Structure 1
Amino acid sequence: MWKRDVLLVVSSTFFEEMKALQVLYLESVYVSLKGFHSLPNLKTLWCIQCKVENFSSSLTNMRSLEILALIGTEIDEISEELAKLSTLKYLRLSGVLGFEQEFNFTPKLVSR
Structure 2
Amino acid sequence: MNAAVLAQLMAQGNSDGADLATLRAMVEEAGDLGAGRALIRLGLADDAAHGDLAELRELLRAWRDAKRSAVRSALGWVVRMVLALVLVGIAVKTGFALK
Comparing both structures, which one devotes a greater share of its residues to strand? 1
TM (normalized to structure 1)? 0.19
Q: Which has the larger radius of gyration?
A: 2
Greater length-normalized contact order (CA 8 Å, ≥ 6 residues apart): 1
TM-score normalised by L of structure 2: 0.20
